[in-house]
Amino acid sequence: MIIAAALCAPAIAGAGANALVVEGLAGEPAYAEEFERQASTIDAALRSLPDSEDVTVLRGDAASRESVLAKLGELQDALTESDRFVLVLIGHGSYDDVEYKFNLPGPDVTGEEIVAALDALPAKSQVFINTSSASGAIAELAVADGRTVVLATRSGVERHATRFGSFFANALTDDTADIDKNERISVSEAFRYAERQVADFYERNGQLATEHPVIDGGQAGRFALGRLGVATPAVDDSSLAELVAERNGLNAEIDELRRSRDAMSPDDYRSALLEKMLELAEVEDAIDARREELDDGR
Amino acid sequence: MTAVRRCAALLCLWVVAMAPAAARDIHYGAVVDPAILECDRSHWRGDIETSRLCYANLLRDDVAAATKAEAAWALNNLQQSNEWFRAALAEAPDDYRSKVRWGDLFAASHQDAEAMNIYREVLEKDPTNAFALLGAARVLVGSFEEAANNYLEPLMMGAVPDNGAMIGALLLVAQVSLEGGNYDEADEALDQAAQLIEDEGWPPLEVYALRAAQDLLNNTDGSRWTEQAIAYNPRFGGIYATPAHFYVITRRYRDAIDLYQKAVDIEPELASAHENMGINLLRDNQVTRARMHLERAYQLDPFSPRSVNSLRLLDSFSNFRLIEDRPTLDGDVPIILRLHKDEADVIAPYAIELTRDSIEVFTERYGFALREPVIIEMYPDHDDFAVRTAGMPGLGILGAAFGYLLAMDSPSGRPPQEFQWGSVLWHELAHVFTLNATDHLVPRWYSEGISVFEEWRSGPNPGVRIPMSVYNAMREDRFLPVSELDNGFMRPSFPEQVIVSYMQAGLVCDFIDREHGEHKLRELLDAFGDGLDTEQALGAVFGMDPGEFDDEFDAFVAAEFGEFLEQLDHWAHTQAEISARLDSGDWETVIDLANELLGIMPHYTEPDSPYLAVARAYNELDQRDAALEALEEFWRGGGYDPAALNRLADWLVEDGQPDMAIEVLQSINLVDPLDADLHGRLGDLLLEADRGAEALQEYEVALALRPHDMATAWYRLASAQHALGNDQQSQDYLLQALDIAPNFRPAQRLLLKLASGADET
């Protein structure tokens, strides 16, 4: 039996994770540098996923409207229903009270064009992240079954350059963003981290917040965007497989225990939780020990 | 009063606070309707029942609208009065007398802009309308506008002769003069007003009230004017309320409360006295009683923004938590904090520690032991603090002490790079000592001087920090003689004079400390407590007259800063050059220029300090040791930029100096305690240094900030408790962490460690 990843909480299963990251027009050198950093960080995070397949970054002249739509068009044939797909737009957006546009070299791409391209993809599990100003203009348009939508602003009238993208990218490499300590940063964790940082930024600088990020979609907590640390190499070992199975079983039991918390007295819950946590900790220790044995034997 | 002297009094008007106008003051002839005057005479004599019947009798249908407007106003039906004035003016648009009274009604109901519009309309048609001039002057004096003089001058200079309006103008000048400490001018104005009042047969009550205030300011017990006023009108609350106002502006709030109480005892419907009593009761932490009077004020005068604002603030107290720190030593006093519930757990530990430290330092230095609990209120919303302090938003200060109670902006009230809340708290706590040690007799300049000096010397972030604007004022010789230094705070004559006066007062105390010895600071405070004024106190303590003292102080300043002041232009030019070189990345030149400036003034640690530039430049050139040294100098000199200090702490950790990194991070707590990362980092360093109790406090604060990563916050608490030997508590915290993140390996390992320890025992 092949045992791969270090663990843990149930993630969305599928054939593989594909992504398109678009770095839009910056306008100023400072933005260009920052957008490039964000795109590179997100690119690296997506590639770090164990099931990462095709991750494409379009930037500079390659990030034209035609190229973006062409790439999305290609993916209509390349992806299957079981694939997961992530689209990330990094840059500036605009909204004229009628139409949202994401700023690209040459003609801009409109919100409707982007959403139509996403709708046309066969992948049933999608994440659409748009960190641009005014991105909230397409909030209603972008929502679809199976799609998690993350936008930097809650409406099209929040037109100032945003800070959300910077914090969102930071989340993918920051241990403190990993709320459940499973060494993966989910869409939900990255969003909550960035949302908090945005709010803190404006509050602590005494400024009126000009962006209010929003998220929509029921799979945000289970859709990983990056992993922390180094991937554990796959090994073929039956005793390790048993331990991992035991751990997964304990995790499931702990989930169940947490769900039934309201029906228990605090003392009973604490006792049950302590018992399960000790068991889980022992199993984790055993897994680590077995891995060390296997490493030493190599 | 000569014309010249009148002008001298006029010039001071624009900055002096005025007591709020009563609902319907004595009008000195602004109204000539005999029917109203008849009612007024009963009213002014205190025969309230008769006057009410008299006014009510004028509300008949067959009475002229303007008369009914005055009667309704006198009966405190302001809306009805407004309607009748409107009707009267619709019938007779050129009735300027009624129109001015309509303006007076707006002014009395706190609608200054509308009142001014009406006065201006009248003056456009009738430029010599004396009561329109007087009304406009009153409104503008109330809002501290120099333009008041434009309206007052024609009356005072006799260009618009009208004895009634002249009386009003003289009373205005008298009040302003008293507030400014110009007692001779006040006396002269009151003499003139009294003579005109006698000649014209108006009630002398307002003259009596100002005379009583004058006696109060001269420390004369039992003013005869009070008796005379009561004899004239036993229900004239102004005889107490007017002097009470002068207690307020000299910060004797409890004395003011007593007088306001007397005012409402004899005139229960005096809204302004209820309002002022409520605001001053709040300053004395008598919240329940304050609410009662503010609500009464609101019932009587629902148009007053001060009452409404204060009541709204009281309503918001439900969002605040009271935290009491009981004394552990005999002689200590309790500390009571009123903090917003969202940040109470974060701020309270540091505020309590600082307050206890300050009490210890100041008790010893000034030989005075506090006798009552210290109450500290911090407001996240600056306008709430302003309302708490003055009843109105828009106040430009950071903190205020009223005796044993102080209020200030909370750390979240301003961006961290702009506000050292720890130093502000220290400053205000020094006021608590200087005010109470002298029974509130300490002059403003000395109380501020001690507070600034203690910030510099003993405060949580010591170091003499003087803004460049103050150095410029020094160079331009804009310091005031010490005997006039109070004016710099209360009647500034140029925009930066308040901050210049703060710094000058602090330097005066620094001068006393260094040139005459620390004991002289206490002796001078004691002299003020004995009731001496500045001139007398300087004579008693230093054997010098104010001029001699000023000469010595000037020599001290010249020796201390003279060389630097000569190079201010060069400094400014070089700073601009540094800024440009920073932008272009010319790091070597930045280092040369910044070091040159630091050679001139090594203590300059304001936000544009050359230390920050030189540290950045060294770091860009990978000369970390030099960069670290520059930031360390900045920090030791009192620099408080939180970003720079965070950087310094990181570098110190990398350099193997965790103890100093701890000190640096602890100083950031006094600037930016709401930075959740800071507490985690600091706690980790403290734990590594075997300072578990301090680490626990930092971790508790971190948790109170509800960080994104709650599992780590709980785990850190568990680690600290484990280090302190509290394994049961540690296990509880670990379960909190693991409940959020079951696979959190460090928490799992500690849980197993605790379990194995438990098994072993």
Distance to chain A for B21, nearest Cα, Å = 36
Q: Do A282 and B752 touch (CB under 8 A)?
A: yes
Q: Which of A277, A278, A285, A291 to mutate to test the interface with B (most CBs of B within 10 A)?
A: A277
Within 8 A by CB and 6+ apart from B400, the residues are B389, B406, B407, B408, B428
On whether the CB atoms of residues B148 and B13 are closer than 8 A, the answer is yes
Q: Which residue of A has its CA nearest to B382?
A: A206
Q: Which of A177, A204, A270 comes nearest B735 by C-beta? A: A270
Range from A141-150, A259-268, B6-15, B720-729 carrying the lowest mean pLDDT: B6-15
**Residues B488-522: tens digit of each pLDDT:** 888 788 888 999 999 999 999 999 999 999 999 99
Q: Which of B677, B743, B749, B750 to mutate to test the interface with A (most CBs of A within 10 A)?
A: B743
Measured between alpha carbons, how far is B136 from B150 in angstroms, rounded to an integer? Answer: 9
Instruction: Output DSSP code: residue B20.
Output: P
Q: Which residue of A has its CA nearest to B751?
A: A278
Measured between alpha carbons, how far is B418 from A77 in angstroms, rounded to an integer? Answer: 57
Query: What is the structure's pLDDT at B415?
Result: 80
Burial of A144 (0-12, 13-18, 19+ CB in 10 A): middle
**Residues B281-307: tens digit of each pLDDT:** 999 999 999 999 999 999 999 999 999
Provide the percentage of residues in chain B whose pLDDT is more than 70. 96
Distance to chain A for B756, nearest Cα, Å = 11
Distance to chain A for B498, nearest Cα, Å = 24
Query: What is the structure's pLDDT at B494?
Result: 85
Domains of chain B: 208-300 (1.25.40.10), 304-437 (3.40.30.160), 442-561 (no CATH), 708-761 (1.25.40)
Inform me whether the C-beta atom of residue B646 falls under 8 Å from chain A C-beta atoms: no
Measured between alpha carbons, how far is B114 from B121 in angstroms, rounded to an integer? Answer: 11
Q: Which residue of B has its CA nearest to A207?
A: B415
Burial of B656 (0-12, 13-18, 19+ CB in 10 A): exposed
Number of inter-chain CB pairs under 8 A, A vs B: 81
On whether the CB atoms of residues B696 and B719 are closer than 8 A, the answer is no
On whether the CB atoms of residues A138 and A100 are closer than 8 A, the answer is yes
pLDDT at residue B364 is higher than 80: yes
Measured between alpha carbons, how far is A63 from B83 in angstroms, rounded to an integer? Answer: 69
Within 8 A by CB and 6+ apart from A166, the residues are A34, A37, A38
Q: Which residue of A has its CA nearest to B741?
A: A180
Inform me whether the C-beta atom of residue B731 falls under 8 Å from chain A C-beta atoms: yes
Hey, which residues 228-267 in chain A have their CB within 8 Å of chain B? Answer: 251, 254, 258
**Residue found by looking up tokens 């330092």 in the block:** B361
Distance to chain A for B727, nearest Cα, Å = 14
Q: Do B751 and A281 touch (CB under 8 A)?
A: yes
How crowded is residue B113: how many other Cβ atoms within 10 Å of its Cβ? 9
Q: Which of A193, A201, A204 to mutate to test the interface with B (most CBs of B within 10 A)?
A: A204
Within 8 A by CB and 6+ apart from A101, the residues are A93, A94, A95, A108, A109, A110, A111
Range from A13-17, B18-22, B640-644 carrying the lowest mean pLDDT: B18-22
Architecture in CATH of A2-227: 3-Layer(aba) Sandwich (3.40)
Distance to chain B for A183, nearest Cα, Å = 9
pLDDT at residue B13 is higher than 50: no
Residues B1/B3/B5/B6 CA torsion (nearest 10 deg): 80
Query: What is the structure's pLDDT at B7?
Result: 34
Inform me whether the C-beta atom of residue A203 falls under 8 Å from chain B C-beta atoms: yes
Q: Which of B346, B708, B710 to mutate to test the interface with A (most CBs of A within 10 A)?
A: B708
Query: What is the structure's pLDDT at B461?
Result: 87
Q: Which of B418, B711, B752 comes nearest A278 by C-beta? A: B752
State the angle between helix axes of B3-11 and B148-156 in degrees (0 to 180), rounded to the nearest 10.
Answer: 160
Angle at the Cα of B185 from the Cα atoms of B181 and B191, rounded to 5 degrees: 125
| A122 three-state secondary structure | coil
Q: Do B742 and A7 touch (CB under 8 A)?
A: no
Please report, as a single letter, which amino acid is at residue B644: A
Q: Do B735 and A284 touch (CB under 8 A)?
A: no
On whether the CB atoms of residues B400 and B408 are closer than 8 A, the answer is yes
Please report, as a single letter, which amino acid is at residue B454: E
Please report, as a single letter, which amino acid is at residue B653: V
Q: Do A251 and B743 touch (CB under 8 A)?
A: yes
Q: Which of A181, A204, A258 comes nearest B416 by C-beta? A: A204
pLDDT at residue B16 is higher than 60: no
Nearest CA among B638, B688, B700 for reference residue B661 = B688
**Residues B563-616: tens digit of each pLDDT:** 999 999 999 999 999 999 999 999 999 999 999 999 999 989 988 999 999 999
Q: Do A9 and B743 touch (CB under 8 A)?
A: yes
Distance to chain A for B418, nearest Cα, Å = 10
Q: Do A177 and B709 touch (CB under 8 A)?
A: yes
Measured between alpha carbons, how far is A93 from A131 in angstroms, rounded to an integer? Answer: 9
What six digits make up the tokens of A121?
């993809």
What is the overall mean pLDDT for chain B? 92
What is the pLDDT confidence band of residue B758, given thresholds at 50, 70 and 90? low
Measured between alpha carbons, how far is A71 from B343 in angstroms, rounded to an integer? Answer: 49
Q: Do A284 and B709 touch (CB under 8 A)?
A: no
- Residue B25: half-sphere exposure toward Cβ, Cα within 13 Å: 30
Q: Which of B735, B740, B749 comes nearest A179 by C-beta? A: B740
Q: How far is CA B322 from CA A223, B317, B378, B536, B677, in A?
A: 44, 10, 11, 43, 26
- Mean pLDDT, consecutive 10-residue stretches, chain A (298 aa), reads 42 70 93 96 93 91 95 94 94 94 96 97 95 96 95 95 96 94 94 95 86 91 86 77 93 94 95 96 94 82
Contacts of B672 in chain A (CB under 8 A): 204
**ipTM reported for the complex, 2 dp:** 0.85
Q: Do B741 and A177 touch (CB under 8 A)?
A: no
Instruction: Output DSSP code: residue A9.
Output: S
**Residue found by looking up tokens 């007397």 in the block:** B262
Hey, which residues 418-437 in chain B have their CB within 8 Å of chain A? Answer: 418
Hey, which residues 4-63 in chain A have their CB within 8 Å of chain B? Answer: 7-9
Inform me whether the C-beta atom of residue B446 falls under 8 Å from chain A C-beta atoms: no
Q: Which residue of B has its CA nearest to A254?
A: B742
pLDDT at residue B390 is higher than 90: no
Q: Which of B674, B747, B748 comes nearest A204 by C-beta? A: B674
What six digits make up the tokens of B270?
């005096």
Q: How far is CA B231 from CA B42, B234, B268, in A?
A: 14, 6, 18
Distance to chain B for A88, nearest Cα, Å = 23
Q: Which residue of B has its CA nearest to A282?
A: B752
Q: Which of B412, B708, B748 comes nearest A179 by C-beta? A: B708
Query: What is the structure's pLDDT at A298?
Result: 66
On whether the CB atoms of residues B637 and B611 are closer than 8 A, the answer is yes
Inform me whether the C-beta atom of residue B743 falls under 8 Å from chain A C-beta atoms: yes
Give mean pLDDT, residues B682-703.
Answer: 97
Query: What is the structure's pLDDT at B18?
Result: 36
Measured between alpha carbons, how far is A170 from A200 in angstroms, rounded to an integer? Answer: 15
Range from A188-197, A247-256, B17-26, B99-108 carrying the lowest mean pLDDT: B17-26
The 10 Å CB-count burial string (b at 16+, else e) for A154-166 is eebebbebbbbbb
Hey, which residues 386-415 in chain B have their CB within 8 Å of chain A? Answer: 412, 414-415
